[in-house]
Amino acid sequence: MDEMRYQMDLLKAMNQNLNRKERMYRLICDSVDNAFLYYAFDRDEVVTLGKWDAFFDFEVTGIKDIPNLFDAVEESYIMPLRDALFVEKTNQEKACVECLLKDRRNWLKFVVNVFYDEKHQPTDKVVCIENISKLKSQNDELEYMAYYDGLTGLYNRNYFVRLLGEFLRKAETEKCIVSVILIDMDDFKKINDGLGIVVGDELVQQFGSYLKEFQSEQVIVCHMSSDVYCMAVYDPVGSRSVEHIHKQIQKRTGEPFALSSGQSLQITVSMGVAEYPEASTSALELINCAEIVMFKGKGMGKNTIQYFDTPILNEFIHTVEIENKLREAVFQNNFIMYFQPQYFTESRRLRGMEALVRWKDEENHMISPATFIPIAEKNGAIIPIGNWVVEQSIRQYAQWSEQYGVHFIMSINISALQYGRDNFVPFILGLLEKYKVSPSQIELEITESILINDFEGVSAKLRQLRDCGIRISLDDFGTGFSSLSYLKKLPINTLKIDKSFIDTVLTDSSTRIITESIINMVKTLGFESIAEGVEQEEQLAYLRRAGCDVIQGYLLGKPQSPEEIAALLQGL
C-alpha cells in the first residue's frame, strides 16, 4: 500500500513538473511576436503556440489543416511553402521561405526545423513563423535607394553604369552596337538661380518622367546629376535609333512644361552620343566620351546633337594637357612678356606699345595665347595671369622710362574676370603708385564681350579709372556684339579696328566702306583710332588717306622681347 502511495505521489510530482515546464514554454512562446507550430510524427499531433491568432484566423489541429496555410499566401509562393513545410521528404533538417500574403501588405517568414532519431527517422517538427513586413519594407527602401534616383525615379548613376556594363558584355558576344546618349538641359543654372531650386527640381522631374517613357529591356535611362541624364540603347535601330530618339526629344522640348506653380517653361537640350565599340569598350569611358562631345555641341550654340569622333577626343585631351600645364605655369609664374610697338600713321613716330603675354612650356614650346587664354578664362587662371601681366607691364614701363627718359603709352589687355573683381580699381591704382608711373601713360584695353553681362558695373569702373587719368581702349571693334548706342556711354579714349577688316580693306569695297565709316565715326566722337594687323605698305598708305591715327602690325613692328624693345628705345 505504501509502495502504491509512493508511486502515486511520484507520478503526481512528475506531472506537476511537466505542467510547470509546459507553462514555462508556453509563456516563452507567448512573450515573443512569433507564431509556432509543433508536430509530433509518432502521435500525428499538431500544436500551435505563440501569437498564432495574430497571424491567422483559422486553427491547425492536424495535418489535414495545413492546406489552410497555402490558401493564405499568394499563389506563386504556394509551392515554395509546401516544399519548406515538408522538408523531411528530402531528408533535410531545416528549410526557410519568405511568402507574401494575399492581402499583399504582409510578408511572413517560415523557418522549419525537423528532428530525427538515431535511425534518421523524423520525430518532431517545429515551424517558427515571423512577420517580416517591416524589414521587407526597409529592405525595399534600401534597394530603391541603391538603384534609383530619389528625385526622378530613374536609375541612379551607379546602377546605370552596372547595367551599361551588362549591355556591353552582351554586345561583345552578339556583335551589337550600344549607343550612349548624354542629355543636358541648356541654361539650367539660369532657371535655378532665377526661379529657385523648387522650380528647377520640378522641371528635372517632369523631363525625367518623359525620358522614362523610352525605358525598355533594350533602353535604360538614368539621372546622372542636376540637369544631366544619360541613356543607353542596345542595338539602336528603328524606333530605338539615336536619330528617332533625338527627334522625339526635340518634339517634346518644343512644347512648354506646365509646372504646379502655374508657370510654363520651355527648354532646349544638348546631346552627346558615343557608341560601343567605336568610341570605347568601357562603360565609364563611353559616358565620358558622350559628355565630351555634348560640351562640344554646347560650345557650338546649344540645342544640338554631337556625335563622337576621334578628332574631338584628341582636341579634348590636348585641352586637358594644356590646362594641367597651365596650372603649373601659374604656380611658377612661368610666363614671359612681349611688346608690340604702335606708330602714328602720319609721322611713323612711336605712339606706344601693347603688352602681350607669352608662355613657353617645360619642353620650351611656345603656346599661342589664342590657345591658353580661353582656357585660362574658363578655369579662372586668367586672374593670377592677368594680375601678373598688369604688374610686369607697369614695372617694365617704369624701368624703361627711367633708363631711357622716354614717355609713351603702355597698352594692357584686361579680361572680363579681372574687371569683375571688387578690388580691381584699387589694384591698378596701387601698382601705379608703387612704380611711380603716371596714369596718363597707361591704357587698359577691353573687348566688347566684357560688356555683355554687366555693362553698368564695368562702365562704372572704367569711369573711375578714366577720372584718375588712365586711358581706356575698346579692342576688336566690329567683331563682337557691336552696338553704336553704347559707344557714347563708354568713357573710352581709343577704338581699335580689328585685323579682319584690314586684311581685306584693299580688295573688298564693302570692307572699305565699313572701315572708313568707323574711322570717321571715331573722329566725330573725339576718339583715337588704331588699325591692327597692318602688314603692307599699301595698307598703311590707305589708312593714312582714310585718316586713321595709329597703326599696329608686322609692317612696322612685330611683338618683341624686352631686350629688343630696349634696343629700340635706346635708338630713339
Residue 6 has pLDDT above 70, yes or no: no
The pLDDT of 39-63, averaged and rounded, is 87
- Which has the minimum average pLDDT: 25-39, 49-63, 106-120, 418-432? 25-39
d(CA 487, CA 492): 8
Same-domain check for residues 477 and 395: yes
| Backbone phi and psi for residue 342, each to the nearest 5 degrees, phi listed first | -125, 135
Residue-level pLDDT at 376: 85
Residue-level pLDDT at 246: 96
The pLDDT of 135-155, averaged and rounded, is 79
What pLDDT band is residue 440 in, cutting at 50, 70 and 90?
very high
d(CA 518, CA 17): 116
What pLDDT band is residue 20 in, cutting at 50, 70 and 90?
low
Check: CB of residue 88 under 8 Å from CB of residue 121: no
Q: Which one of 85, 108, 136 terminates a domain?
A: 136
Residue 11 has pLDDT above 60, yes or no: no
What pLDDT band is residue 5 in, cutting at 50, 70 and 90?
low
The pLDDT of 440-466, averaged and rounded, is 85
* Strand partners for 180: 232, 274
Residue 240 has pLDDT above 70, yes or no: yes
The pLDDT of 254-277, averaged and rounded, is 92
**Within a 10 A sphere around the Cβ of 231, how many other Cβ atoms?**
24
Same-domain check for residues 96 and 42: yes
Same-domain check for residues 180 and 302: yes
**291-329 CB burial, b ≥16 within 10 A, e <16:** bbbbbbbbeeeeebbbbbeeebbeebeebeebeebbeeb
Q: How far is CA 440 from CA 493, 523, 565, in A?
A: 11, 20, 21
Residue 310 has pLDDT above 80, yes or no: no
What amino acid occupies position 458? V
Check: CB of residue 290 under 8 Å from CB of residue 230: yes
Q: Which three cell numbers, joined as nine digits, stand for 446?
A: 577691353
- Which has the minimum average pLDDT: 195-199, 320-324, 506-510? 320-324
Same-domain check for residues 127 and 163: no
Q: What is the mean pLDDT of the chain?
A: 87
**Within a domain: residue 364?**
no
Residues above pLDDT 70, as percent of the chain? 90
What pLDDT band is residue 202 in, cutting at 50, 70 and 90?
very high
d(CA 8, CA 5): 5
**Within a domain: residue 552?**
yes
The pLDDT of 218-231, averaged and rounded, is 94
Same-domain check for residues 124 and 257: no
- Which has the minimum average pLDDT: 337-351, 368-382, 482-496? 482-496
Residue-level pLDDT at 552: 96
Residues above pLDDT 90, as percent of the chain? 57
Residue 231 has pLDDT above 50, yes or no: yes
- 246 or 366: which leads in pLDDT: 246
**380-404 CB burial, b ≥16 within 10 A, e <16:** ebbbebbbebbbbbbebbbebbeee
- CATH number, domain of 268, equals 3.30.70.270
**Within a domain: residue 315?**
no
Check: CB of residue 212 under 8 Å from CB of residue 154: yes
- Domain interval for residue 39: 20-136
Residue-level pLDDT at 85: 93
Residue-level pLDDT at 18: 47
Q: Which three cell numbers, joined as nine digits, stand for 36?
A: 509556432
DSSP annotation of 560 reads: B
What pLDDT band is residue 331 in, cutting at 50, 70 and 90?
low
d(CA 491, CA 62): 102
Residue 145 has pLDDT above 90, yes or no: no
Residue-level pLDDT at 330: 65
**Within a domain: residue 515?**
yes
Same-domain check for residues 125 and 176: no
Nearest Cα neighbor of 472 from 492, 501, 458 is 492
- 436 or 327: which leads in pLDDT: 436
Residue 477 has pLDDT above 90, yes or no: no
Same-domain check for residues 448 and 400: yes
**Within a domain: residue 52?**
yes
* Count of the separate structural domains present in the chain: 3
**pLDDT tens for residues 520-564?**
999 998 999 999 999 999 999 999 999 999 999 999 999 999 999
Same-domain check for residues 427 and 298: no
Rounded (10°) angle between helices 562-570 and 382-404: 30
Q: Is 41 helix (H, G, I), strand (E, B) or coil?
A: coil
Q: Is 400 helix (H, G, I), strand (E, B) or coil?
A: helix
Same-domain check for residues 89 and 214: no
The pLDDT of 222-242, averaged and rounded, is 94
Residue 293 has pLDDT above 80, yes or no: yes
What pLDDT band is residue 303 in, cutting at 50, 70 and 90?
very high
Residue 28 has pLDDT above 70, yes or no: no
Instruction: Determine which helix (DSSP H) or strand (DSSP E) holds 325, and give its type and residue range.
Output: helix 310-331
- CATH number, domain of 41, equals 3.30.450.20
Residue 452 has pLDDT above 70, yes or no: no
- Which has the minimum average pLDDT: 26-40, 227-241, 259-273, 553-567? 26-40
Residue 309 has pLDDT above 90, yes or no: no
Check: CB of residue 245 under 8 Å from CB of residue 191: no
